[in-house]
Amino acid sequence: MLEVNGLKTYFFTRSGALKAVDGVSFALARGETLAIVGESGCGKSVTALSLMRLVPDPPGRIVGGSISLDGIDILGLDDDEIRAMRGRDISMIFQEPMTSLNPVMTVGRQIGEVLRLHQTLTKAELQRKVVALLSLVRIPEAAQRAREYPHQLSGGMRQRVMIAIALACNPKVLIADEPTTALDVTVQAQILELIVDLQKKLGTAVILITHDLGLVAQTAQRVIVMYAGRKVEEAAVDALFADPLHQYTRGLMASLPRLGLLRGEAASSKRLQDIPGIVPPLTNLPIGCVFAPRCARADDRCRSEYPAYEEKGPGHWAACWHPGPSNGRGHD
Ligand code: ADP
Ligand code: MG
């Protein structure tokens, strides 16, 4: 349904072109949940914003690739067409709902605005739909809540409102960009469960963006691991957890608290203690494998030649010269 091919989104900064997304490709099937994981600064949000055509320009620009949704070329749409598409075909929820909600408008009105933008409804129908949407995202006393302002709601309730807005017009694709990061752990689990339930109920395809592999295990069918603007691994969730190939993915997993893997339990966001170093500046990437400076296995080839992105097992792709566990088919 959604096909992204060789997407390149750069920011033109004083220190040169910052390659936030550098040739990323993936496909998303109807009703599927695809997770995009990676540390902060790896290009996950910019990938999402590119799909929505919301990359701030300047300094950002989509300089290459294609995005098509049910055969429609998203990069070829004019401003009116893309506005009509947002919310109706593809919508997005962000990490911090407070900054995305209008503080001086009741939440009911904000949901109503989205509905009115895409549908012709009488006032009574609109009112009914708003309340139904608030109930759908399990906000108690929906009719009353509809008349309240964002600051009157808790963080979790605000995120529910954002989900209601995003799902108001029953989009084909919902992008959830770190949707629970700003919330406390119990609320995180509830919001995630809500997204999964609604997706099943409505058949929406979801792109779940997170730095937390624990969330991925609970929700997604397929995972893309991004590092420094590129895709370094992709697999079905089970295959990725059973047999992570890229050393970066292995590092992400090693830093995952064991308990977080258990279904139904929210993972805490622990730092990546097992991967030394940080994501390199995206304006000045090393010539070989971008992860080499942080990788315990890196050798001369890794430092001089970018690894080919290859299918190493059925449906399991990785860009790594020395994939797999240290005692398995790896080289050491
Ligand atoms: P992630 O979501 O994986 O944490 P992002 O996609 O937000 O990372 O960012 C990828 C890179 O793009 C980062 O290096 C970030 O600094 C850069 N970037 C994002 N937005 C802008 C912007 N508006 N101007 C300049 N650089 C940006
Ligand atoms: Mg982000």
| Phi, psi angles (nearest 5°) of residue 161 | -60, -40
pLDDT at 262: 43
Strand partners, 231: 226
Residue 26's Cβ-count burial label (10 Å; 0-12, 13-18, 19+) is: middle
Domain residue extents for the chain: 2-220, 230-261+269-318
Ligand with an atom nearest the CA of residue 284 = 1
What is the reported pLDDT for 195?
Answer: 93
Spacing, Cα 8 to ligand 2 middle (Å): 16
Q: Whose CA is nearest to atom 6 of ligand 1?
A: 43
Provide the pLDDT for residue 273: 52
What pLDDT, on a 0 to 100 scale, did the predictor assign at position 274?
A: 66
Residue 326 has what pLDDT?
A: 62
Average pLDDT taken over every residue of the chain: 90
Q: Which residue has the tokens 């992860």?
A: 291
Residue 36's Cα: distance from chain center in Å? 5
For ligand 1, pick from 11, 40, 230 the residue to mutate: most ligand atoms within 8 Å of CB.
11
* Cβ atoms within 10 Å of 266's Cβ, excluding its own: 24
> What secondary structure does DSSP assign to 32-99, as a single string?
-EEEEE-STTSSHHHHHHHHHT---TTTEEEEEEEEEETTEEGGG--HHHHHHHBTTTEEEE-S-HHH
Which parts of the chain register pLDDT below 50?
259-271, 327-332
CA angle 185, 172, 146 (to 5 degrees): 55
What residues does the ion ligand 2 have nearby, CB within 5 Å?
Answer: 44-45
CATH of domain 2-220: 3.40.50.300
Closest C-alpha to 230, from 58, 50, 9: 9
pTM for the model: 0.92
**E strand spans, 130-266:** 173-177, 205-210, 222-227, 230-236
Question: Can you tell me which residue has the tokens 């995180």?
Answer: 188
